[in-house]
A and B are shown apart, each in its own frame.
Chain A
Amino acid sequence: MLEEQQNIKSWFYLAPALVLLAIFIFYPIFNAIFLVFVKDFNYLQGTHDGFTLTENFRYVLRDPNFARAMLNTMLITFVSVPLSVIIALLISVWLNAIPVKKIQGFFQTVFFLPYVTNAIAIGMAFAFLFNQYYGLINWFLGLLGISPINWVGMGATWGNAMFSLLVYITWLGLAFKIMVFLSGLQGIDKQYYEAARVDSASRSRVFRRITVPLLSPMIMYITVTSFIGAFKAYTEVIGMFGERLGPAGDDRSMITVVALVYDALDRSGVPGALSEAAAAALILFAVTLVFTFVNLQVSKKRVHY
Chain B
Amino acid sequence: MEITLQNLTKIFQSKREDEVVAVDNLDIVIPSGKLYGLLGPSGCGKSTTLFMISGLLKPTSGKIYFGNEDVTPVPPEDRGIGLVFQNYALYPHMTVKQNIMFPLENIKMDKKEGLKKAQEIADLVGIGHLMNRKPAQLSGGQQQRVAIARALVKSPRVLLLDEPLSNLDARLRLQTREEIRRIQRETGITTIFVTHDQEEAMSISDEIVVLDEGVTQQVGKPQYVYDKPNNLFVAKFLGTPPINIFDGHIEDGKIMIGDAYIGKTDAEDQEVTIGIRPEGFKIVERSSFQVEVEFVETIGRDTTLIIRHPNVEVQESFEDPEDEEIPEEEQSAFAQEVAEELGEEADDTKMEGIDIPQQSVQQAKTFRAIVDADYGVEPGDTVKFTVKPHKMHIFNKETGELV
Contacts and interface: CB of A to CB of B under 8 A. Distances in A.
A192 interface: yes
A201 interface: yes
A199 B399 CA distance: 45
B301 interface: no
A201 B106 CA distance: 5
B56 A214 contact: no
A192 B107 contact: no
Contacts of B341: none
Nearest to A206: B106
Given A200-B77, A201-B102, A195 B85 contact: yes
A198 B77 contact: yes
Contact of A209 (B102, B107, B150, B151): B102
25 contacts: A191-B85, A191-B89, A192-B89, A194-B85, A195-B85, A195-B91, A195-B150, A197-B75, A197-B77, A198-B55, A198-B56, A198-B81, A198-B82, A198-B83, A198-B151, A199-B102, A199-B103, A199-B150, A200-B106, A201-B106, A209-B91, A209-B94, A209-B102, A213-B94, A214-B92
B205 interface: no
A105 to B, nearest CB: 15
Nearest to B103: A199
A191 B77 CA distance: 14
Contacts of A3: none
Contacts of A4: none
B93 A304 contact: yes
B195 interface: no
A55 to B, nearest CB: 51
Contacts of A194: 56, 76, 83, 85, 89
A9 to B, nearest CB: 40
A210 interface: yes
B103 A200 contact: yes
A45 interface: no
B78 interface: yes
Interface string B46-68: 00000000111000000000000
A58 interface: no
A197 B85 contact: no
Contact of B76 (A198, A210, A213): A198
Nearest to A198: B83
A200 B102 CA distance: 9
A200 to B, nearest CB: 4
A191, A195, A199: residue with the most chain B Cβ atoms closer than 10 Å: A199
B368 interface: no
Contacts of B218: none
Contacts of A210: 91
Q: How large is the interface on A (under 10, 10 to 19, 20 to 34, 35 or more residues)?
A: 10 to 19
B155 interface: no
Given A213-B93, A214-B92, A214-B93, A202 B106 contact: yes
A48 interface: no
A205 interface: yes
A191, A200, A202: residue with the most chain B Cβ atoms closer than 10 Å: A200
Contacts of B77: 197-201
Contacts of B249: none
Nearest to A194: B56
Interface string A178-205: 0000000000010110111111111001
Q: 8 smallest A-B Cβ distances: which pairs?
A: A304-B93, A191-B89, A199-B103, A200-B77, A195-B89, A213-B93, A200-B106, A198-B83
Contact of A200 (B93, B107, B150): B107
Contacts of B393: none
Contacts of B103: 199-201
B89 A189 contact: yes
B150 to A, nearest CB: 7
B50 to A, nearest CB: 12
Interface in A205-231: 205, 209-210, 213-214, 216
A205 B106 contact: yes
Given A198-B81, A199-B102, 13 more contacts: A191-B89, A194-B56, A194-B83, A198-B54, A198-B55, A198-B82, A201-B102, A201-B103, A202-B106, A205-B105, A205-B106, A209-B94, A209-B102
A216 B94 CA distance: 13
A195, A196, A202, A304: residue with the most chain B Cβ atoms closer than 10 Å: A195
A198 to B, nearest CB: 5
Nearest to B79: A198
B6 interface: no
Contacts of B85: 191, 194-195
A214 to B, nearest CB: 6
B154 interface: yes
Contacts of A209: 91, 94, 102
B350 to A, nearest CB: 48
Interface in B150-175: 150-151, 154
B87 interface: yes
Contact of A197 (B56, B93, B94): B56
A191 B87 contact: yes
Contacts of A214: 91-93
B83 A195 contact: yes
B238 to A, nearest CB: 30
A145 B243 CA distance: 84
Contacts of A191: 85, 87, 89
Contacts of A304: 92-93
Interface in B116-169: 150-151, 154
A67 to B, nearest CB: 43
Interface in B82-101: 82-83, 85, 87, 89, 91-94
Contacts of B78: 200
Contacts of A202: 106
A209 B103 CA distance: 12
A196 B56 CA distance: 11
A292 to B, nearest CB: 24
Contacts of A192: 89, 91
A37 to B, nearest CB: 48
B106 A199 contact: yes
A222 B195 CA distance: 43
Contacts of A216: 93
B81 to A, nearest CB: 6
Contacts of B91: 192, 195, 209-210, 213-214
Contact of A199 (B55, B92, B93, B154): B154
